Chain A
């Protein structure tokens, strides 16, 4: 085979280019600390990377929602405990009123019960970041109002409410909406499920059936009961005989109310623990995703450093060979 000096320099240039592009490749990988930098580096891994980034993003979103939901439910829970305490104190007042006492003691007890109702209204209007937690989907206005006549009205929404409360029932245009009081915060992929993803307790679940026909309308059952009990206690001053039986009966009503509240509390407690579990799982998942992602695209720095060293060696060898061999010709010896 005939070899010419041009062939040597061409071959040298090809080799030089190859080693230089290898060097630049490794340098790009090291500077971005990523093994894959464009789709053609590895189409499969790039798309996996896209999927991981989507999954990481969803995970962050669901974790955020889970945090929101859990603090929502915690606030609900602590307020429900206070509500429970208020009901207990009312019960104490009523049971004290069953035994005879001076007229003023009944007035005082009724006054305490009235204040307790105010307190319940206040607890029912608890809010978190400007959102009222017991108002159902109408969470931007205080859900409970104490009217001038002492009654309490509920302004929120509740499960089973008419779509438009101002209009009569119509199966198509104005049906009862099963999830009208439900606030959802999704923490798992897919469509939101109002039953699974419910994070709130609405006014009806907390304080009993809302009476839309009362005057004024929308009074929750428990408040109606408490007003009657207050009246029953007041009545003790005027008609002491026979009132004890009524008040004893009222104790049963209060117990029923307590049970209602406990039911609401336990439902939110159960859901909170479910959310807590999922939140913990989301944290685990995020670690898994991060490590999958890192496995998929991160650069093995140790290997890259060695590759870089190798590429540099090759590069300097190429330069050395070029400098030593290419300039030599017969001319040097003539």
Chain B
């Protein structure tokens, strides 16, 4: 025989369970747009039944419902996949952003680029070749000097922009490492709280969401490996195996800045852990991408600086050598066109990259200051070696100088190899274009993959408003039904107690 008021308890347990359901649905709806939130659901189970004796023997009467747990909808495997893909996506995004800004530095389509000043210098030399003396000669010589100056300044300007970009990259690496430290210390703190909350077997859903969201953000900066131990704590390590978070402890990364790194003089950074004891090399993610872009000698800021430096070296060595073969308006053998009079830039002793500390050719690239003295333009050696004393209308060396800019050299040069300056620059631009194009397509491909992964996460963890609202209606109905059971029982007892005529 069951207890008279047993049914009340059953109905009450229903009311409580439905209320919990509605509360959880409310929590879901409230957090529908919270980053990193995964929807939660109440896992209800029936309570232990009560044995009743029926005609056919023992039967079990249900006694209501109770809450087993509140769990979050989450798939660790999808998370791990997302973290991995997100790192790669972030790597390529950073590559394509930064290569895009290098493209902007070499802005040739807007007739402000290097090709344009090379063309102008070439025209100036061509005009000088036809008008080496007289009034026309003076203006042709001045134009040669000024267009050479414009060329040198454009090279320097481009180089300065690249150096600026490298410095920006270093600053951003600094900031991102600070972020990494911030994230890892928060993850470690959350590990601690989660262990405490989960000691009784429950799941600390909201804390786990927060922790996973931190890992999400961390994964955009570097590739991470995450494993969960039995107590529920995450061990987060970066590629190469250095653990950033282990239980309650987070490894603090430090950035060491080296200002004025030779030869181009920008700030480089290296990341270390354990107070400088371990060198940290990041893989994937934006930090690795930025580091690679800055330091890479083929492609990358350093690589493009090297290309510009090669061109500066060409002017200091090859162009000067040809200029020295000529004779100036006074019939004297030419000296350096770029750099300083009397210096032989083909000697190792005068090679800025061989100095200690090394500097760049670009830093030495100036039009010979002697050209700026009174009648200095007459020092431009437009004549060839066969010029006759007194004859100044010989522009053959100016033609040779102009050919050096646009024609493949007969003997390969140390700086540009088998290329004319124009061709060399063209090859730099095409390499940059291909590199940038590749990074863009990698970025968009990877974007598609990350989107797909985000979608599968969302399929599992996302909050759907309509679903929640439908559930709320369901829970509301159930709640009402439970209440109805109570009123029904109440009226049954009322009949029993008040309407039956006892006494």
Does B407 sit within 8 A of A, measured CB to CB? yes
Interface residues of B in 112-164 (CB under 8 A from A): 115-116, 118-120, 122-123, 126-127, 129-131, 133-136
- B464 near A157 with CB under 8 A, answer no
Bound Cα distance from A85 to B389, whole angstroms = 34
Our pick among B130, B399, B406, B430 for the contact of A58 (Cβ within 8 Å) is B406
28 contacts between A and B (CB under 8 A): A4-B464, A10-B458, A39-B106, A39-B430, A39-B437, A40-B436, A46-B429, A50-B115, A54-B118, A58-B126, A60-B123, A64-B127, A65-B127, A130-B135, A131-B393, A140-B133, A140-B392, A162-B388, A165-B389, A165-B390, A180-B386, A183-B394, A184-B396, A184-B399, A186-B129, A191-B403, A192-B400, A331-B469
- Min CB gap A30→B, angstroms: 15
- B459 near A138 with CB under 8 A, answer no
Bound Cα distance from A119 to B27, whole angstroms = 111
Find chain A residues with CB under 8 A from B431 CB.
Answer: 43
Bound Cα distance from A153 to B463, whole angstroms = 104
- A51 near B426 with CB under 8 A, answer yes
Our pick among A38, A136, A177 for the contact of B386 (Cβ within 8 Å) is A177
Does B15 sit within 8 A of A, measured CB to CB? no
Does A288 sit within 8 A of B, measured CB to CB? no
Our pick among B136, B422, B458, B469 for the contact of A330 (Cβ within 8 Å) is B469
- A53 near B393 with CB under 8 A, answer no
Look across to chain B and name the residue whose beta carbon is closest to the beta carbon of A48: B426
Find chain B residues with CB under 8 A from A34 CB.
Answer: 109
Look across to chain A and name the residue whose beta carbon is closest to the beta carbon of B125: A61
By the criterion of a CB under 8 Å from any partner CB, how many residues of chain A are at the interface? 73
- Against B, the Cβ 8 Å flags (1 = close, 0 = not) of A14-42 are 10000000000000000010101111111
- A6 near B458 with CB under 8 A, answer yes
Interface residues of B in 72-131 (CB under 8 A from A): 99-100, 103-104, 106, 108-110, 115-116, 118-120, 122-123, 126-127, 129-131
Does B33 sit within 8 A of A, measured CB to CB? yes
- A39 near B436 with CB under 8 A, answer yes
Find chain B residues with CB under 8 A from A184 CB.
Answer: 129-130, 394-396, 399
- B393 near A47 with CB under 8 A, answer no
Bound Cα distance from A53 to B108, whole angstroms = 10
Look across to chain B and name the residue whose beta carbon is closest to the beta carbon of A137: B391
Does A322 sit within 8 A of B, measured CB to CB? no
- Against A, the Cβ 8 Å flags (1 = close, 0 = not) of B410-430 are 000000000000100111011
Dominant SS among interface residues on chain B: helix
Look across to chain B and name the residue whose beta carbon is closest to the beta carbon of A194: B396
- A44 near B430 with CB under 8 A, answer yes
Given contacts A14-B451, A65-B130, A157-B388, list 16 more A-B pairs with CB under 8 A. A2-B462, A6-B458, A38-B103, A39-B106, A39-B433, A46-B109, A50-B108, A57-B123, A58-B406, A65-B126, A129-B134, A157-B391, A179-B386, A184-B394, A184-B396, A192-B129
Does B52 sit within 8 A of A, measured CB to CB? no
Bound Cα distance from A116 to B112, whole angstroms = 58
Contacts A14-B451, A131-B133, A140-B133 known; A49 to B109 CB distance under 8 Å?
yes
- Min CB gap A61→B, angstroms: 4
- B463 near A4 with CB under 8 A, answer yes
Bound Cα distance from A162 to B459, whole angstroms = 93
Look across to chain A and name the residue whose beta carbon is closest to the beta carbon of B131: A68
- B440 near A40 with CB under 8 A, answer yes
- A50 near B458 with CB under 8 A, answer no
- Min CB gap B355→A, angstroms: 33
Does B257 sit within 8 A of A, measured CB to CB? no
Does B50 sit within 8 A of A, measured CB to CB? no
Our pick among A4, A36, A54, A61 for the contact of B462 (Cβ within 8 Å) is A4
- B119 near A57 with CB under 8 A, answer yes
Bound Cα distance from A92 to B133, whole angstroms = 40
Find chain B residues with CB under 8 A from A7 CB.
Answer: 455, 458-459, 462
- Min CB gap B349→A, angstroms: 31
Bound Cα distance from A41 to B454, whole angstroms = 29
Q: Which residues of B contact A (CB under 8 A)?
A: 32-33, 99-100, 103-104, 106, 108-110, 115-116, 118-120, 122-123, 126-127, 129-131, 133-136, 386-396, 399-400, 403, 406-407, 422, 425-427, 429-434, 436-437, 440, 451, 454-455, 458-460, 462-467, 469-470, 473
Our pick among A47, A137, A329 for the contact of B388 (Cβ within 8 Å) is A137
Find chain B residues with CB under 8 A from A157 CB.
Answer: 388, 390-391
Bound Cα distance from A186 to B204, whole angstroms = 84
- A185 near B425 with CB under 8 A, answer no
Does A96 sit within 8 A of B, measured CB to CB? no
- B463 near A5 with CB under 8 A, answer yes
Instruction: Kindly name the residue among B32, B109, B122, B467 whose own CB sees the greatest number of chain A CB atoms within 10 A.
Output: B109
Contacts A43-B433, A137-B393, A189-B407 known; A330 to B465 CB distance under 8 Å?
yes
Look across to chain B and name the residue whose beta carbon is closest to the beta carbon of A18: B444
Our pick among A1, A14, A65, A183 for the contact of B459 (Cβ within 8 Å) is A1
- B399 near A192 with CB under 8 A, answer yes
Contacts A4-B458, A50-B115, A183-B393 known; A161 to B388 CB distance under 8 Å?
yes
Find chain A residues with CB under 8 A from B427 CB.
Answer: 47
- Against B, the Cβ 8 Å flags (1 = close, 0 = not) of A181-216 are 101111001111010000000000000000000000
The 6 closest A-B pairs by CB, nearest first: A137-B391, A43-B433, A39-B433, A4-B462, A40-B436, A4-B464
Does A325 sit within 8 A of B, measured CB to CB? no
Find chain A residues with CB under 8 A from B390 CB.
Answer: 138, 157, 165
Does A139 sit within 8 A of B, measured CB to CB? yes
Contacts A6-B33, A54-B422 known; A137 to B387 CB distance under 8 Å?
yes
Our pick among A42, A50, A60, A178 for the contact of B425 (Cβ within 8 Å) is A50
Find chain B residues with CB under 8 A from A62 CB.
Answer: 126
Look across to chain A and name the residue whose beta carbon is closest to the beta carbon of B470: A330
Bound Cα distance from A54 to B420, whole angstroms = 12
Look across to chain B and name the residue whose beta carbon is closest to the beta carbon of A157: B391
- A47 near B455 with CB under 8 A, answer no
